[in-house]
Amino acid sequence: MNNIGWQNPFSGIFHVIGLWAASGRADAARVAVGTERLRDWGVEVVVPQLPGEPRRYLAAADEVRLAHLHELLGNRRVEAILAVRGGFGVTRLLDDIDWDAVRQRNLPAIGYSDFTGFLLAAWKQGCQRLVHGPMLCPDLSRKPLTPEEAAGAQAAMQSLTACLRGDERLLPLSASPIVLRPGQARGPLVPANLSLLTALLGTAHWPELDGCILVLEDVNEAAHRVDRMLTQLRSAGVLRRLAGLAFGQFTAGEDSEYLPEVLVDFADAVPGPVLADLPFGHVAHTISLPVGALATIDTAAAPASRLQRG
């Protein structure tokens, strides 16, 4: 496979990665492309051996997807878990996951979208090596057709590497986040998909967000649905207990022209600073963010330094 323009984000960090199809059905051809890319980088790929067939819109039945996670956790050679794709289904598993095993291995887990449900639940369970970042599909299975697409994919891989290595900088130099509410804040960073975060409200897997810096994104959600979910968080008292808030990208939704107004409506619900337009979400050049790491927002800083680790 031609990997020109791609940097191996796992170089010198992980040599053996387990693939977990925790959510929706994945296209077999895209899985093959992503898996081949990992192997071309010299990464050994571990796939659970227990057979499983797709069920409706799920990668496999709940009990099979659970068994796949526990199989990967039991494999002492696996150094990290990479989500195969998002979609839907991980929240169906959370009640039955062996969280003792998850805590004991404390494996880095990487993914976003529907995988947010696992990341947030694992963070609540005390896991600290979690990354809201690229998945096998669509990210590692992309075939850039233009120099611009290749540059975007490369930037996403560089951000993942920086995140895994614990670099202080979280935003690329080209980033220019918008300030919706000025100020300074410091607290645990919680990157999340808005739909999955609100889906955990009222469950045993809801993470403690008091004093946190929340970073939100979503895809295929109309402006009024984003409004509804943010209203739910405000009514539940979540927003007023945050240290800070940042909005990433809300892509492919209806009435997107209203989104800037919607986000402004909720800025005053947060006592600390609020940013918007971070390069974070369901976009090819998304940045990776560490779940639970201490971070700061300083709206007086230069644009690319407004969100930093530490």
- Tens-digit pLDDT string for the chain (310 aa): 555 557 899 999 999 999 999 999 999 999 999 999 999 999 999 999 999 999 999 999 999 999 999 999 999 999 999 999 999 999 999 999 999 999 999 999 999 999 999 999 999 999 999 999 999 999 999 988 888 888 888 999 999 999 999 999 999 999 999 999 999 999 999 999 999 999 999 999 999 999 999 999 999 999 999 999 999 999 999 999 999 999 999 999 999 999 999 999 999 999 999 999 999 999 989 999 999 999 999 999 999 999 999 9
Q: In what order do the strands lie in the sheet with 80-83?
A: 44-46, 16-20, 80-83, 109-111, 130-132, 289-290
Tell me the catalytic residues.
Answer: 113, 217, 282
272: nearest Cα among 224, 207, 223, 209? 209
Distance (Å, whole) CA 119 – CA 110: 8
273: nearest Cα among 296, 248, 244, 302? 244
Distance (Å, whole) CA 288 – CA 163: 6
Distance (Å, whole) CA 218 – CA 113: 8
Find the distance separating the first CA and the last CA of the chain, reported in whole Å.
Answer: 38
- pLDDT tens for 184-218 read 999 999 999 999 999 999 999 999 999 999 999 99
* Amino acid at the residue 142: R
SS (H, E, C) 188-222: EEEEEEHHHHHHCCCCCCCCCCCCCEEEEEEECCC
What is the model's pLDDT at position 3?
A: 52
**Cβ-proximal residues to 27 (8 Å cutoff; 6+ apart), any chain:** 137
What is the model's pLDDT at position 149?
A: 86
- Report cis status (omega within 30 of 0) of the bond before 138: yes
In degrees rounded to 5, what are phi and psi of residue 66?
-65, -45
What is the model's pLDDT at position 147?
A: 86
What is the model's pLDDT at position 113?
A: 98
Query: What's the half-sphere exposure (Cβ side, CA atoms, 13 Å) at 280?
Result: 34
What is the model's pLDDT at position 42?
A: 96
